[in-house]
Structure 1
Amino acid sequence: MKSAALTIALDIRIADAVYRLGGAATLPQILAEAGINPCKLHDLRRVMRVLTVSGIFTVQQPEMAAEAPGCRHDEAAVYKLTAASRLLVRDKSSTTGQVSPFLSVHLFLTPWRESQMGRCMQAWFRQDQQQPGPSLFALANNAQTIWERAEGDAAAFPFNNAMASDTAFLMPIVLKECGEVFHGLTSIVDVAGGLGGAAATIAAAFPNLKCTVLDLPHVVAKAPSGTNVQYVAGDIFENIPPANAVFLKVRPTPDICPIICLI
């Protein structure tokens, strides 16, 4: 993730934009100075989060009272250059007459920059359109979504197995740290629960809790038999089986940890 964020910073010249703005700038200012469409603001925020955690930039969060009217909190944060991010600045070389140190960083990042995903990231951020457009994944996979890629080539792209692996790792931690949220429930439906790994773990820990998994028909068709979990084929946007609570386990984006919701 650090290499990916550094590649984006180098290719769309984030450090140069901040440098030209006096060494400190907000996300909207960086977008405007770098010539990036404003619709990419939230994606740039994720990149800058990686770069600030890594120490490449620093960030100063605004006082709530100091925020401009109508300005979101994350849009008012000020990002500043550090000794590390100054190595990414190209504009300094034109004023000092010296060779810019960014050339060495450019060389070290070449393997990532020349990879398929690296090229797609640069092209995606440079898209000049009012809407975000195709995802990075789609750009790198011939316009396929994650689901289409997984269905078409499960051997090379075992997405469902990876999600099952993630569930097997995460659910024991959830039950240990947050198991009290299931107390008092008699029924629960796991929406988009796949083959029922999470529901089966909950059912094993709470034998009196009726656990149901709701997923699309082609997923439920592959569900294991002989378990204490009930499987229902359906669509979350059309109907959800009645239960005390709805269980959601989602990973919105690659840079965000899995989120567990009990509704």
Structure 2
Amino acid sequence: MEGKLDGLLQSQAHVWNHVLKFFNSMSLKCAVELGIPDVMHSHGQPMSLSDLVAALHIQPSKAQYLGRLMRLLVHSGFFDANEEEDVKYSLTPSSRLLLRHTDTHTHTTFQITPFLFLSLDKTTIASLGALSGWLCSSDADHNPSVFEMANGKPVWEYAAQEPSLANLFQQTMACDSEMTGKIVIEKCSGVFEGLKSLVDVGGGTGVMANAIAEAFPHITCSVFDLPQVVSNIQPNVKNLSFIAGDMLESKIPPANAVMLKWVLHNWDDEQSIKILKKCKDAIPSRAEGGKLIILDMVLDNEVEDRESTETQLFFDVLMMVNLNGKERNEKEWKNLFMEAGFSDYTIVSKLGLRSLIEVYP
């Protein structure tokens, strides 16, 4: 009987943990809004609670509440704290990614703060709240996304009318491309060997393509994206250009290689196959060096820890509610490639939660 009661209590704790898990996200958002990572970075050494209170201009009477917030964030791994009576806090590698300015410790500007605010935007919260209603709804003529049901418009239409959300999305993509570009060039440089031209489809403001163009000056790079995204951008390097078009409607400019970074998870299988076919039409045969380069998640691809797997599954639900998109396992990727007329593929490297896939015509 005692074992059953212990199991009951453990189950209760498990449910409570997941019910309250969003407190982690919102506490992290609060810390960034307050500017805690930047204040600690500027201070240059571990900070006491009283130092934080003064630097953040928090009322001294509320110091204990800040201390309780920091206790949770320390437990979650975003700050370190010593074990002395006068506790002092310092940054961790994770909280350094939340800096808004250059990190002199690592000499990088990598950050994921825009992603934090985008993921915790009121529209995403509303979409998650509408998921059960969406699952039970039936509309044979019009199958809106959860986002549209919750917010009145599809996500891209909504973003077009809400510049703040559109800017947050572009910042998220640019920040991610800055980090991913450096990692891909260092870890997967062989992918670009022998290429003379590359077009980054849906490449936004060109951060990823710019990194490739700088690292491989012999490759003529171009970014293919919507007119409102690329029309006023001036390239920083001579072997980079911007071409306006819609990947679902226009022909993709011809090149030795086409790149799709974090694109296909936005779309369902039908639209993804349509995009893949257009990519195949834009490249030469495999014998002539043609290939498609995809940077996206591959579920179940030797992810080594529970947190990473859970994060991939979070992304899958995020794509489902906001875009009717999905994350895919290797079998699902293979089915897309074969359906689109490609002959073979190779998962070149695992890059954290995502993978680099070469696909051959």
Please tell me the TM-score bracket, short chain as reference.
0.5 to 0.7
Cα distance change, pair 176–108 in 1 and its aligned pair in 2 (3 A) = closer
Take 2:18 and 2:210, find their aligned partners in 1: how far apart are those partners? 46
Deviations 1:177-227 (A, max 9, x none): 211010011111111111111100101110111101111222221323443
From 171, 176, 183, the counterpart of 2:186: 176
Partner AA of 1:203 in structure 2: A
Q: Which residue in the other structure is 2:260 paired with?
A: 248
- 1:174-253 superposed matches below 5 A: 174-228=184-238, 229-237=240-248, 238-251=250-263, 252=265
Cα RMSD between the aligned structures?
Answer: 3.4
TM norm structure 2 = 0.39
> Does 1:165 find its partner at 2:165?
no
Q: Kindly tell me the number of residue pairs found equivalent between the two proteins.
A: 164
Once the two structures are aligned, what percentage of the paired residues are identical?
A: 33
Q: Which residue in the other structure is 1:50 paired with?
A: none
Q: Which residue in the other structure is 1:148 paired with?
A: 157
- 1:7-156 superposed matches below 5 A: 87=11, 105=15, 109=19, 116-128=126-138, 133-142=143-152, 144-156=153-165
2:212 is paired with a residue whose SS is helix
Deviations 1:125-145 (A, max 9, x none): 222456993222222321x22
Take 1:147 and 1:211, find their aligned partners in 2: how far apart are those partners? 26
Shift of 1:106: 7.5
Shift of 1:239: 1.1
Cα distance change, pair 199–118 in 1 and its aligned pair in 2 (3 A) = closer
TM norm structure 1 = 0.52
Partner AA of 1:249 in structure 2: K
Q: Which residue in the other structure is 1:66 paired with?
A: none
Cα distance change, pair 107–220 in 1 and its aligned pair in 2 (3 A) = closer
1:211 is paired with a residue whose SS is strand
Take 2:18 and 2:235, find their aligned partners in 1: how far apart are those partners? 51
1:224 is paired with a residue whose SS is coil
Q: Which residue in the other structure is 1:72 paired with?
A: none
1:169 is paired with a residue whose SS is helix
